[in-house]
Structure 1
Amino acid sequence: MTIKLDKLDIGILECLQKDVTIPVTELAEKLGSSKSVCWRRIQRLLDEGVIKDRVAIIDQKKIGLGVTVFAQVKMHHHVKDALPDFVKAVQKFPQVIECHTLMGSVDFLLKIIVKDIEDYERFFWQDLSQIEGVQEISSSTALTRFVDTTSLPLDHLYLEGNQAD
């Protein structure tokens, strides 16, 4: 369900996506609003789940996690609990930072962050391939990341008449 957002809400989201540590006073000045109004809006955006988390984004290479792998997983059967059981299993692995279900020839796409190829190979054989129902895993190692952002595009919110002036 899409939440109704006005121009101030969208401005707050744009600013917080760039720097969540911005003081509310500075945010209010930047957006031409008051500190109390901005604070209440942020609380509402948090309460409604528009803002899911406020986190630090860590440079994976600087902490020794130099390899990103995308694994496409195909399941044997689509019996009642096979897909939810797979999801529960991969949620336990800290190496899996994203898990998407797909339409098409494979069932899941996983984004996996590991120290090196040997670490992935160990994870592949000891953990991922051992999950019940896995038929096939096709892995691709990322070489260079040309786009690296967590910011969502918000322009459509202005265009869809989502805001009130």
Structure 2
Amino acid sequence: MDRTDKKILRLLQEDATLPVADIARKVGLSTTPCWRRIQKMEEDKVIERRVAILNPEKVNVGVTVFVSIKTDSHNAEWLRRFSEVIVKMPEVIGFYRMSGQVDYLLKIVVPDIAAYDAFYQKLVLEIDIEDVSSAFAMERIKDTLELPLEYMSIDKNAKS
């Protein structure tokens, strides 16, 4: 990975629909070498996939809820079952195992509080949980999938 790869990644994070010719021009390459670099980053899983980012309000899931979960079950079977249940719930857009006071944190999107309540009822019916607490986001100030590239290792010996 060199500085040119980093520039390509920055451009793709901003707009994954940019034509390769435009990316190439912006980073100072011809189209074929630029395309090869993108292909290599896809093969190496630096670029996992390209997606369209939807407006939550336009698809009627404008309410974001952070759900903290505590459990007193830490065995492999419970975790397998819990993960299986959560992964199948389309409202869950983030699922994390945490350190500290909370065992798991979910980020979910729903149209309204009634939909959240239905989600909650289904969750506690499907899996044994010690405690569930929820925090509703009042305003989305920053919500991005763009990763900071400042920490990316650059091969200083590679030709850019």
TM-score by length of 1: 0.90
2:148 aligns with one of 145, 150, 153? 153
5+ residue gaps, structure 2, are none
Say which SS state the counterpart of residue 137 (structure 1) adopts: strand
Once residues 126 and 67 of structure 2 are traced to their aligned partners in structure 1, the CA distance between those partners, rounded to angstroms, is 14
Once residues 77 and 98 of structure 2 are traced to their aligned partners in structure 1, the CA distance between those partners, rounded to angstroms, is 17
Say which SS state the counterpart of residue 140 (structure 1) adopts: strand
Matched, 1:31 2:27: yes
Contact 1:76 / 1:133 at 8 angstroms: preserved in 2? Answer: no
2:139 counterpart residue number: 144
Shift of 1:161: 4.3
Moved more, 128-137 or 106-115: 128-137
Once residues 83 and 136 of structure 2 are traced to their aligned partners in structure 1, the CA distance between those partners, rounded to angstroms, is 22
Shift of 1:148: 2.0
The alignment's C-alpha RMSD in Å is 1.3
Once residues 24 and 80 of structure 1 are traced to their aligned partners in structure 2, the CA distance between those partners, rounded to angstroms, is 46
Matched, 1:128 2:123: yes
Once residues 42 and 130 of structure 1 are traced to their aligned partners in structure 2, the CA distance between those partners, rounded to angstroms, is 45
Matches within 5 A, 1:1-165: 5-125=1-121, 127-157=122-152, 160-163=153-156, 164-165=158-159
Contact 1:90 / 1:96 at 8 angstroms: preserved in 2? Answer: yes
TM-score by length of 2: 0.93
Amino acid at match of 1:17: Q
Say which SS state the counterpart of residue 94 (structure 1) adopts: coil
Shift of 1:83: 1.7
Contact 1:69 / 1:111 at 8 angstroms: preserved in 2? Answer: yes
Shift of 1:134: 1.2
Per-residue Cα deviation, 1:6-53 (whole angstroms, up to 9, x for no partner): 111111100000111111111111100111111011111111111111
Q: How many residues align?
A: 158
Once residues 161 and 7 of structure 1 are traced to their aligned partners in structure 2, the CA distance between those partners, rounded to angstroms, is 7
Per-residue Cα deviation, 1:113-162 (whole angstroms, up to 9, x for no partner): 0010011011101x1112323111010000001112211110122xx544
